[in-house]
Amino acid sequence: MDFNYSNEQMALQETLQRFIARDYGFEQRRELARSTLGFSAGAWAQYASLGLLSLPFPEEYGGLGGNGVDIMLVMELAGRGLLLEPYLSSVVMGGGLIRAAAAEPLKRSMLPRIGAGELKLALACYEAGGRYDLSHVACTAVYRGGGWRLSGEKTVVLDAPSADYLLVSARSSGEVGDSNGISLFLVAREAPGVSLSAYPTQSGGRAADVGLEDVALDANALIGVVDGGLSPVEWAVDQGIAGLCAEAVGIIAALNEATLTYLKTRKQFGVPIGKFQALQHRMADMLIAAEQARSMAVIAAVAADAEDARERRRAISGAKAYIGQAARLVGQQAVQLHGAMGVVDELIVSHYFKRLTMIDLSLGNTDFHLERFSNAP
Amino acid sequence: MDFNYSNEQMALQETLQRFIARDYGFEQRRELARSTLGFSAGAWAQYASLGLLSLPFPEEYGGLGGNGVDIMLVMELAGRGLLLEPYLSSVVMGGGLIRAAAAEPLKRSMLPRIGAGELKLALACYEAGGRYDLSHVACTAVYRGGGWRLSGEKTVVLDAPSADYLLVSARSSGEVGDSNGISLFLVAREAPGVSLSAYPTQSGGRAADVGLEDVALDANALIGVVDGGLSPVEWAVDQGIAGLCAEAVGIIAALNEATLTYLKTRKQFGVPIGKFQALQHRMADMLIAAEQARSMAVIAAVAADAEDARERRRAISGAKAYIGQAARLVGQQAVQLHGAMGVVDELIVSHYFKRLTMIDLSLGNTDFHLERFSNAP
Amino acid sequence: MDLKFTPDQEAFRAQVRAFIEAELPADIRARSRLGKRMQKDDMTRWQKILDRHGWGAVMWPQRFGGSGWDVVQQHIFEEERADIGAPPQNAFSLRMLGPVLMTFANAAQQEYFLPRIIAGEDWWCQGYSEPGSGSDLASLRTSAVRQGDHYLVNGQKTWNTLGQYADWIFCLVRTSSEGRPQQGISFLLIDMKSPGITVRPITMLDGEHEINEIWFDNVRVPLQNLVGEENKGWTYAKFLLTHERTNNAGIGFCKRALKKLKEIAAEQLSNGRPLLDDPRFRDRIAQVELELMALEITNLRVLSAVANESRTLGPEVSVLKIKGSEIQQMLAELQMQALGPDALPYLREGLGMDWVPDPLLARHYPPYAPPLSGQYFNLRKTTIYAGSTEIQKNIISQQILGL
Amino acid sequence: MDLKFTPDQEAFRAQVRAFIEAELPADIRARSRLGKRMQKDDMTRWQKILDRHGWGAVMWPQRFGGSGWDVVQQHIFEEERADIGAPPQNAFSLRMLGPVLMTFANAAQQEYFLPRIIAGEDWWCQGYSEPGSGSDLASLRTSAVRQGDHYLVNGQKTWNTLGQYADWIFCLVRTSSEGRPQQGISFLLIDMKSPGITVRPITMLDGEHEINEIWFDNVRVPLQNLVGEENKGWTYAKFLLTHERTNNAGIGFCKRALKKLKEIAAEQLSNGRPLLDDPRFRDRIAQVELELMALEITNLRVLSAVANESRTLGPEVSVLKIKGSEIQQMLAELQMQALGPDALPYLREGLGMDWVPDPLLARHYPPYAPPLSGQYFNLRKTTIYAGSTEIQKNIISQQILGL
């Protein structure tokens, strides 16, 4: 039982904090969100040089062998800085999936390049009508002539526009909704038959719908075993959720700081509005929510490394559902306590609020995970 | 569209208010709750002379032809006065059921006597394992030799100990849970084979479990049509729920008044605690809840007279679910704002709180009715 | 006590509905149904249509050219308008300024301005809040100094809604610094075309331009544009705020939004089945529907009490404002939540009618989707503007509870 | 960062569990499992058993006869105790008075009183609140006047918990009316057998006798029963309150209550099916379970931070107190709700072990049912006592947020 960061972790934290303060101010971030790419290629290179992009990978693949707590630490700061780079998609989920499920040669070829920032991945695991159900896969994978043919559509694939490769879940057998019969494929975004309909997201990132028209793949494009793709995808998504939980906790903390400062500086009726007890108690509620949310993010970060899938799923769904509600409280109240200043684009408050809202709607919202938690004994 | 009481209604209101103020003080009420009978026989006689006991019955049966709004008016004051008499069981549900479903001779013989206070009824419609489901009837009714035989058990029958007759739902055909096959019988509490296990309730009333061992009944003990007993029982229970909604609204209003007075008189840190903004806003929330709950009680009172059963059910379930939540907020916060004075037996506040809690748990709690409402389009 | 509408009222409802169905331009209706961006032109066209029919100011007494309807008739009209999808009328002109002019302005002002409002010739906006004066409105600093036959106005107003469209602005200005801050305030009518006025747009969190900062630099305002007495403006301002809040319950708007929410939840699929079949989501809809059912009655109870006692609305409107704004927010939030992952795309083009989505996107992303997340963000304002929820609770505790 | 217990800690847990399983008298265990009334005798017997094993004061340092366990060990002990159903120890003696005596009392007082507490010879109760002094404790008026070798104590204390069992009471008394009210308060130890003490029971809303009013009429208290310095009592009082709150999170109690709630929900039937299968009720359980999961970690984070920085607990305990008390209330409410209609009967006899219910009732009314509604009512106190939730939020906003 130990709640302290190691010295390495604290060093990493400080480096990243310095980087955000120096190179990732609110104005720069807004410019990046408006840019075509939607994030900073320079920042991405810096993450590589800081080792962030290889953090979770084992040493033998040029990684730092980091664990869930290391990712929590990074993602919390990603939240505070509202970082736009596809870290979660490319490193935590994409790279994590390669590491967890791909064959040895592929790992050896890809992980170092991901870590070096030369390669970006995106996870294409949701489809129309499935909402957040990972087994709702209609996209087909047919084995023919020594290779695979993929056809279908994946929706709202986060960070797809900038990804070199997509990790696509497709149905190699069974019916839509079956847990078995889902296989996982590595598809070059530029491959013939792959089409993207790209758009920005409500919180400044990028995503796309992906069309797959009879896309031809080699046999070795298959990641893991045929028909056994669901559990690695669930694992990868759970890694992503743990990351989102930490990101949300970083934003919650930042919003509480901003709101507290506003309460102390904004004067009405001749006094700082923080002198009004109703607002003081609201702020106290927000602090309590932040502490509880942080505890849940710790639970999720530790559970992300758990061997037992049921244990992992339950803890991580619980954390996502709890933090979704805490984020809603803090986000809405931070806006409310900022009054009109909370609903304008020019302050970071509204951007934090929008990001928290989109975090809830990503990789399964509060209701989805509340159900998954409460259905698990 | 009219939200005013008629002159008759306002006169009735004043009479009842005077009666409560004069003859039903908090101390008297505590004595009554401790007494063997559990309520005031004298009050019952007075209700009769005031016409309350025949209020909802048609003129031709010696009634006043009152409607749901009249009952709302009475029940709101019953809440304010924490009246213990079995008005809801005997007049609203029991008498109402006789009026709605019984054969002409029975109506002519019973309704006037109920109105005169000579006869009391109780509705025995719930069974073990059914929770609040009225179709969960295992108690059997067998037609043999020109009469009926009832066997089984009914649980937590409100006001059974003082009732002369029980209205019992029993299964004449079909399986437990079937809507059809339920028949309704009038059973003398003293009839051979009827046994009671009586107890007080958490809010000062009386109830009992009822055992029926091969109870023999005449053919005319059947109320309404064979196998068609569920919808009249549902109707009667909905009348009772509308009454409970009004009772809760009366208590909520009284609790808000008591709490407001306490906020103005209780001094801490040299000022009345009502000067603290956090408590002011809490009190504002309680006032808003009271206004909204009152509107729902009006909806329920009007819906109680509705022809269409689906419309009636939906509105009344909605009201019960909404008021259950409003009552929880006001009850818990009234106790909280009274501090230690809120958790002692010697103030009426805790008795109001306990009654609100038991109202929620009677005739279907918030969850049960929320489901019934949200399942109805 | 009776919740049924009278036959006359039902007939009136049918008449209102028939008129709106017949007269509301199809393009406006489509825009509002899909939650697309409304143009000033939409509102003005609709105002002129209403005016031609004699319904240009349904909440005004007849002697000022209004329809002189009672509260129930107004409620019915509002309900039908919102349900069919006719745009709201300009509340600043009709609900806020109108009553002030009718009550406190002189005959000349009434005769000039009121008809132009009904005819949709003047678009009014509000000049109340200032950077340093939000909840504490009385601390406002924009000054108006008498100079011969006019005032010289200097200062800055903010959180001004749709001022970019406005012909006129009604302003609270400081004409004296004597005594309590409330005592030195006057109520001025200012032509937006006056030299020295600068309108600077403020982008809202949903990326849209709805509010502005307005700068006054030596703006000359004729003395005859003063409403009532100099330094008595605070009285008129509070009178206006009460009227502003009367419709903040927004029952009609909410009933329409609830209908739409149920339509969306029935159409959106979760794991291949309609979201409406998910008991968890249906419960959330049920909870807000119950709040709305209750508020509709609470609203009518307040209005009829006011009518019976033939008085103006009091602090009880704070109850309506608090609940109404919360319900609007809950409905918008559930509409967004109903989209699930499809709430993530930010497609501004989708706010226009002429937008044609990429076919890949169009197969799962319905035409009503683009505005929903932005609307949830945008409606956070409802518990902030027109007196924040916190201010409303102060009003309740002081003026109703006497705390 | 690591949430796993070390092998040593796991071994310790096994040792603790084995001891309690072996030593806890069966009748006490049964009573606590079924939520029946606890007797003083139960707690005293258990205290003596713990003492014989050297575990009479697990949160005290060894030099005062405590076990000197670290926070994690204490957490494990508390968890196992609650899970198996051993009664809590007397918090007034061990958690409140103990730390005060160890920190501020003189050697003679420490040597006399502390061993008697561990041995279960003295039962202590608290004399803090007065009718006029609840949240505003410093306004207390019970007076202690020096007379030769003793104080003469007069006044009234209230909300005194289990004083009917007490051998001793620690009291805040006013020894001076000079300066700020906080400055005239002293901390006295008073023998409950002293002439002039009257204990009057107060019936709680659940009908039980748990708290008292205590009257002091010229009660003679030897000067050597003064703790620390005269008029410095407020410092000791605040120190005590912080310690009082440390265990208000009640993690162990809550985990046991959650287990019980799930057992009840699995056994109770709704329409013939286990209530636990109802998604609506299961969600309610899930929500409180999540709060508890989070609070357990928050609690350990606070305790380990305190340990690392080797400081005493600060205002952060207010967070634990607020959440812990809310969770206790939610769990009690859900246990009652799980009973449905069976929550209505009020069967006081059912709080005793020897109660035999009527067979008709017994067929659907389980032995764990009688206390549940009363417990929900009773636990409303948890957000009121030991500093109400409102007071805790004041502490957070002033001492943590600096507002």
pLDDT tens track for A261-271: 999 999 999 99
pLDDT tens track for A88-147: 999 999 999 999 999 999 999 999 999 999 999 999 999 999 999 999 999 999 999 999
Task: Give the CA distances from residue B344 to residues B30, B347, D161, D315, D384, in Å, rounded to whole numbers and listed in that order.
Answer: 14, 6, 13, 29, 12
Mean pLDDT of C228-232: 96
| Chain D touched by A371 (CB under 8 Å) | yes
Give the per-residue pLDDT at C214: 97
Q: What domains can be seen in chain C, in order of their start residue?
A: 7-89 (no CATH), 124-231 (2.40.110.10), 248-400 (1.20.140.10)
**Contact call for residues A360 and A328 (beta carbons, < 8 A):** yes
Q: From C287, B361, B129, select the one nearest D335 (Cα to Cα).
A: B361
Instruction: Give the separation between CA D301 and CA D297, rounded to whole angstroms.
Output: 6
Residues 1-20 of D with CB under 8 A from A: 1-6, 9
Structure tokens at A164: 């070199």
Instruction: Give the separation between CA D170 and CA A273, rounded to whole angstroms.
Output: 41
Backbone angles phi, psi at B102, to 5 degrees: -80, 165
pLDDT tens track for D253-269: 999 999 999 999 999 99
With CB atoms and an 8 Å threshold, state whether B1 touches C400.
no
Question: Residue D247: pLDDT band by 50, 70, 90 thresholds?
Answer: low
Mention the CATH class of domain A122-227.
mainly beta
Residue of C nearest to D282 (CA): C280
With CB atoms and an 8 Å threshold, state whether A202 touches C159.
no
Question: Residue C246: pLDDT band by 50, 70, 90 thresholds?
Answer: low
Contacts with D401 from chain A: Cβ below 8 Å:
260, 274, 280, 283-284, 287
Q: From D370, D310, D296, select the one nearest D335 (Cα to Cα).
A: D370
Mean pLDDT of D308-312: 79
Q: From A77, A16, A78, select the one nearest A46 (Cα to Cα).
A: A16
Give C283's Cβ-side CA count (13 Å radius): 15
Structure tokens at C249: 């319950």
Q: From B163, B258, B267, B238, select the one nearest B205 (Cα to Cα).
A: B163
Looking at every residue in chain C, the average pLDDT score rounds to 94
Q: Count other Cβ atoms within 10 Å, centred on residue D275.
A: 23
**Contact call for residues D134 and D381 (beta carbons, < 8 A):** no
Structure tokens at D264: 């009840």
C125: Cα separation from own chain's centroid: 11
A207 strand-pairing partners:
A158, A199
Looking at every residue in chain A, the average pLDDT score rounds to 97
With CB atoms and an 8 Å threshold, state whether D384 touches B370.
no
Mention the CATH class of domain B7-120.
mainly alpha
Mean pLDDT of C324-332: 97
CATH of B231-374 given 3.40.640.10, 3.30.70.1060, 1.10.10.10, 1.20.140.10: 1.20.140.10
Q: From A126, A193, A192, A120, select the one nearest A163 (Cα to Cα).
A: A120
Instruction: Give the separation between CA C388 and CA B97, rounded to whole angstroms.
Output: 50
Q: How many CB pairs under 8 A join A and C?
A: 152
* Residue in the block written with tokens 């005449």: B218
Structure tokens at D312: 């005493």
Instruction: Give the separation between CA C264 and CA A184, rounded to whole angstroms.
Output: 32
Write the residue in A133, A345, A365 that is nearest to C205 by C-beta: A345
**Contact call for residues D337 and D270 (beta carbons, < 8 A):** no
Residue of A nearest to B283 (CA): A278
Domain boundaries, chain A: 7-120, 122-227, 231-374
Contacts with C397 from chain B: Cβ below 8 Å:
277, 280-281, 283-284
Instruction: Give the separation between CA B191 and CA C270, rounded to whole angstroms.
Output: 56
pLDDT tens track for A10-46: 999 999 999 999 999 999 999 999 999 999 999 999 9
Over 90: is that where the pLDDT of D249 sits?
A: no
With CB atoms and an 8 Å threshold, state whether B343 touches D344.
no
Please report, rounded to a whole number, the percentage of residues in chain D having pLDDT higher than 70: 99
Contacts with A291 from chain D: Cβ below 8 Å:
298, 301, 319
Structure tokens at C358: 């990429």
Angle between helices A277-303 and D317-339 (to 10 degrees): 80
Give the per-residue pLDDT at C4: 87
Report the phi/psi class of residue A184: left, alpha or beta, with left for phi > 0 and alpha for psi in -120 to 50: beta
Contacts with B373 from chain C: Cβ below 8 Å:
286, 290
Using alpha carbons only, what angle is made at residue A349 by residues A343 and A352, rounded to the nearest 5 degrees? Answer: 115
| Chain D touched by C179 (CB under 8 Å) | no
Contacts with A298 from chain D: Cβ below 8 Å:
1, 3, 297, 301
pLDDT tens track for D113-128: 999 999 999 999 999 9
Contacts with B155 from chain D: Cβ below 8 Å:
341-342, 364
* Residue in the block written with tokens 């200032």: C130
Question: Residue C248: pLDDT band by 50, 70, 90 thresholds?
Answer: low
Q: From B131, B372, B208, select the one nearest D340 (Cα to Cα).
A: B131
| Chain B touched by A277 (CB under 8 Å) | yes
Backbone angles phi, psi at C203, to 5 degrees: -85, 130
Give the per-residue pLDDT at C206: 96
With CB atoms and an 8 Å threshold, state whether D304 touches A1.
yes
| Chain B touched by D127 (CB under 8 Å) | no
Write the residue in D202, D272, D358 that is nearest to B344 by C-beta: D202
Domain A7-120 shares a fold with domain A231-374: no
Give the per-residue pLDDT at B265: 97
Instruction: Give the separation between CA D37 and CA D34, rounded to whole angstroms.
Output: 9
Residues 314-353 of C with CB under 8 A from B: 319, 322-323
Q: Which amino acid is at A138?
A: A
Mean pLDDT of B42-66: 97
Least confident range from A192-196, A237-241, C317-321: namely C317-321
| Chain D touched by B34 (CB under 8 Å) | no
Over 70: is that where the pLDDT of C140 sits?
A: yes
Instruction: Give the separation between CA B243 and CA C159, rounded to whole angstroms.
Output: 48
With CB atoms and an 8 Å threshold, state whether D6 touches A275.
no
- Which secondary-structure segment (H or E) carries A270? none
Instruction: Give the separation between CA B373 and CA A357, rounded to whole angstroms.
Output: 29
With CB atoms and an 8 Å threshold, state whether D377 touches B332.
no
Q: From C43, C126, C37, select the one nearest C81 (Cα to Cα).
A: C43
B123 strand-pairing partners:
B167
Write the residue in C1, C289, C396 that is nearest to B3 by C-beta: C1
Contacts with B337 from chain C: Cβ below 8 Å:
none
What Rg do the C-alpha atoms of chain A give, in angstroms? Answer: 21
Give the per-residue pLDDT at B2: 85
With CB atoms and an 8 Å threshold, state whether C393 touches B285.
yes
Residues 47-66 of C with CB under 8 A from B: none
Write the residue in B202, B276, B279 that is nearest to D373 by C-beta: B202
Please report, rounded to a whole number, the percentage of residues in chain B having pLDDT higher than 70: 100
| Chain A touched by D283 (CB under 8 Å) | yes
Q: From B180, B315, B185, select the one nearest B239 (Cα to Cα).
A: B315
pLDDT tens track for C365-388: 999 999 999 999 999 999 999 899
| Chain A touched by C131 (CB under 8 Å) | no
The SS3 call for residue B200 is strand
D339: Cα separation from own chain's centroid: 27
Mean pLDDT of C97-115: 97
Judged on CB neighbours under 10 Å (0-12, 13-18, 19+), A338 is buried
Alpha helices, DSSP H, located in C228-358: 233-246, 251-267, 279-308, 317-339
Distance from the C325 Cα atom to the nearest Cα atom in chain A, whole angstroms: 13
| Chain B touched by C359 (CB under 8 Å) | no
Which regions of B79-181 does DSSP assign to beta strands (E)?
121-124, 140-144, 147-158, 165-171
pLDDT tens track for A83-103: 999 999 999 999 999 999 999
* pTM (two decimals): 0.96
Over 80: is that where the pLDDT of A353 sits?
A: yes
With CB atoms and an 8 Å threshold, state whether A370 touches D319.
no
| Chain C touched by A329 (CB under 8 Å) | no
Work out the end-to-end distance of chain C between its first and last CA atoms, rounded to an integer number of angstroms.
Answer: 32
| Chain D touched by A277 (CB under 8 Å) | yes
Residue of B nearest to A279 (CA): B278
Over 80: is that where the pLDDT of D245 sits?
A: no
Buried b (16+ CB within 10 A) or exposed e, D52-82: eeebbbbbbeeebbbbebebbbbbbbbbbbb
Over 80: is that where the pLDDT of C243 sits?
A: no
Question: Residue C304: pLDDT band by 50, 70, 90 thresholds?
Answer: confident
Query: Could you tell me the sign of the dihedral formed by the alpha carbons of D75, D76, D78, D82, in that order?
Result: positive
Which regions of C139-203 does DSSP assign to beta strands (E)?
143-147, 150-161, 168-174, 185-191, 197-203
Contacts with A8 from chain D: Cβ below 8 Å:
none
The SS3 call for residue B197 is strand
